[in-house]
Amino acid sequence: MMAAGAAATPDMRTAMGTFATGVTVVTTATSEGAPAGCTVSAFCSLSLDPPLVPACIGKDRSMHRLITQDPGYAVSILARHQADVALRFARPSVDRFAKTPVDEGLHGIPLIRGAIAHVECTVHDVLDGGDHAIVIGLVRPLHTAEGEPLLYS
């Protein structure tokens, strides 16, 4: 067991990797209206009243600045058949959206077409989570569709 304050080891990544989780793509738009997004597996429900969801974004990602400074974002919960979308948004790319069909959500924020749910949020709070920011979103509209979720472990 790690002592409090001990540096994380490769064992931490291995242990956490044994926990299966859903896969999402978090999207927003730049101040110029350009779409931006990244794959996020650290997402869950936080509160039903008010409806809150946290998404954890690495501070070293370009998405960190966008999502923590902009008022809104969307979470597309990917369907089982969308592993290619998850990989596209997990890797550096010139244009992740070029091969990804989207629909327009609130404030022009892209929603990944084919996802089994879309959770549109306004930023409620941003908390420090070590090398990640914990972005708490107040859920505005949400939409669900039939399908099986994409899981990662």
The pLDDT tens digits of the residues spanning 8-56 come to: 677 877 887 777 789 999 999 888 888 999 999 899 999 999 999 999 9
**67: amino acid identity, one letter:** I
Report which secondary-structure segment, H or E, holds 7: none
DSSP state of 148: P
Cα Rg, the chain, nearest whole Å? 15
For residue range 88-145, list pLDDT tens digits in order. Answer: 999 887 789 999 999 999 888 999 999 999 999 999 999 999 999 999 999 998 999 9
How far, rounded to the nearest angstrom, does the alpha carbon of residue 2 sit from its chain's CA centroid? 28
For residue range 60-102, list pLDDT tens digits in order. Answer: 888 888 888 777 899 999 999 999 999 999 988 778 999 999 9
Residue 35: partners with Cβ closer than 8 Å, 6 or more residues away: 27, 28, 29, 97, 102, 109, 110
Record the tokens describing residue 87, joined without a space.
């990989």
* Mean pLDDT, the chain, integer: 89
Q: What is the pLDDT of residue 1?
A: 43
